[in-house]
Amino acid sequence: MTTIARNLQDVRARIATACQLAGRNVEDVTLLAVSKTFGAEAVRAAAGAGQRAFGENYVQEGIDKIAQLRDLALAWHCIGPLQSNKTRLVAEHFDWVHTVDRLKIAERLSAQRPEGLAPLNVCIQVNIDGGPTKSGVAPAEALALARAVAALPRLALRGLMTIPEPAPDFEAACAVHARARALFDQLNAEGLGLDTLSMGMSADLEAAVAAGSTMVRIGTAIFGVRARSA
């Protein structure tokens, strides 16, 4: 068994334990392997261990891997900040985008999604705790943006994504994730029909699952520590 395969096994066990403690079905939580800065062979090793969904923060890096791994049936998620000049590349190559935080970006993705592809799955990024360095729409503005995005063609609005500031302990992490779940529920009460709450990473996946996350984005715990740029 490769190191990546062992790490995946460990992460899946963490998710299963978290689901058991929360009284949830493990099948209701998707594992998204965040492969940014790791090469196509690392993704291939993870795929060999049964992983199918991969998240990329950098658009061009992701596209390069998608091209190298076309022989594998993988789902590719863009989870990094998205600028207007990158929307066409995302619309043409990715299956999901988690970081829509303004209508202009959604409109460009909608217009640029090729008709021959399935609708692009979209999550709205919400700055759930008001972190000063975080992207995302303010919670109070999420409903209006969600309604506008849901009305666009060639997109499928699936849910919300959050990246809260690191919490000091499990209880604090649960509290902030619970705010995201409450917003998710509020939008569904308004008829949005969302099914995806993308929250939780290597350090806080247990708290995210306890609060209701349906998709955890795990990088370090699977692929290892990323090399720092010089």
Q: How many other CB atoms are found less than 10 A from the CB of residue 71?
A: 8
Q: Coil, helix or strand for 104?
A: helix
**Predicted confidence band of residue 131 (pLDDT cuts 50, 70, 90):** confident
Q: How confident is the model at residue 174 (pLDDT cuts 50, 70, 90)?
A: very high
* Range list of β-strands (E), 70-201: 75-78, 96-100, 120-125, 155-161, 196-198
To the nearest 10 degrees (0 to 180), the angle between helices 59-68 and 40-48 is 60
pTM of the model: 0.95
Give the pLDDT score at 76. 98
DSSP character at residue 138: -
